Amino acid sequence: MPAITLSSRFQFTLPKAVREELNLQAGQRFAVIPKGDIITLVPIPTLAEMRGIAKGADTSNIRDRADRLERCKPQV
């Protein structure tokens, strides 16, 4: 298992093997998620990478605003 060291400037470098395996690029952004003693880094996809993510999704049963408003009307 590769190990890294946190520098005095609170920076670290991911090992080349990890960068290549995950196809990480310089300048790529990550969400930092702390949970107990664990830190998880999750790549934040760009807008271009998200394009088409819902292609082919079934939208036949999608509620619209009118449906939500109808359901919230007070009962008389």
Residue 67 has pLDDT above 70, yes or no: no
Average pLDDT of the chain?
85
Tokens of 63: 């509620």
pTM greater than 0.95: no
Dmax (CA) of the chain: 67
| pLDDT band of 69, cuts 50, 70, 90 | low
Class of domain 1-51: mainly beta
Phi, psi of 63 (to 5 degrees): -80, 145
The domain segmentation of the chain, as residue ranges, is 1-51
CB atoms within 10 A of CB 43: 14
Q: How far is the C-alpha of 17 from the C-alpha of 40, rounded, in Å? A: 18
In tens, the pLDDT along 14-45 reads 999 999 999 999 999 999 999 999 999 999 98
Instruction: Give the pLDDT score at 70.
Output: 64
Instruction: Give the pLDDT score at 55.
Output: 85
